[in-house]
Structures are given as structure tokens and as C-alpha cells.
Amino acid sequence: MTEEAPDPELHFGNLIGAYTDAIRVSDFKANLTVLFVAIMMGPVVASRDKFPAFLSLPLILAPFIIVFICLLVCVYPRYPRRETRNFLVVPNPKKSDFVFSDKETDLDQLKLRCVILSGILFRKTLFLQISFLICLVSIAFTFVMLVYSLV
């Protein structure tokens, strides 16, 4: 029993769908993290007088600002301009903009779309991980400082 090679267009179409879903999930995580950070910032600012004197308010808020910037970069849509004929990002697309004419060129376009989406997903994941790490370190540091102030 010989196994047939998969249809390349179907394969790359499935990859494009998987990348698109992963990008949507990443955006959802970033939006939830923005909400979490905004809620977490209130109690930290409210208890700023309990922190040691060497920690000023701008220094306390610096991790929050860095996290917000990382999450803004994560959520901001980036579709780089490359040699794509059928990956249009225009306000009023027409049906004629998405006509497949040459099978080999269309396969190259699908591959290029996979490359673009992979790059977008990599950057989103990287900035999301950076913001999660900063959030966790900030929570631990805040807990240590509050315990230190109570002792």
C-alpha cells in the first residue's frame, strides 16, 4: 500500500488556517493580559506608601508600562508588504483581486502567506511571553516587598 503525497494547496491552506487560529488565540491572550495588568496595577499603586523609600512610583510602574507596550506590539496587526499578489489588505477588495490563474504561482503565494503568518505569530508569541514573564516577576517582587514591609 503506497501513500500518496498530500495536495500542496490543501496542505498550505491548512497551515494558513492553523496560523490564523493561533494568531487569534494570541490576540485573545494579550487582551486578557491587558485586563489582568490593569486590575493588578490598582492595588500596587494604592499600596505605594508601604514600599521602601528607595522605590519611587515611576520605578514601581515601569514593569506595567513595559508590559503594556509589549502587549500593544502583540495586538497591533502587522501585515508586511511583500511580493504577494493574492494576500491583499485593502479597504474595498473585489472578487477579481482573488482569482487564481497560474497553479505554480498560486502555490508560491500560499507558501509566502505561510511565511508571513509564521513571522506574525512568532512576534506575537515572543512579546506575549515577555509580558507574561514581566507580570510574574512583578507579582513575586510585589509580594516580597509587601512581606518585607510587614516584618
**Rounded Cα gap, residues 122 and 97, in angstroms:** 28
Give the residue from 2, 5, 64, 76 showing the smallest Cα distance to 33. Answer: 64
Number of domains the chain is built from: 1
Q: Give the range of the structural domain holding residue 31, as residue numbers without chain letter.
A: 8-77+103-150
Residue 99, φ and ψ in degrees, nearest 5: -85, 130
Residue 69 in domain: yes
Rg from Cα positions in the chain: 23
Residue 61 in domain: yes
Per-residue model confidence as pLDDT tens digits over 108-136: 878 888 888 898 899 999 999 999 899 88
Residue 85 in domain: no
pTM surpassing 0.75? Answer: no
Residue 90 in domain: no
Per-residue model confidence as pLDDT tens digits over 62-72: 988 999 898 88
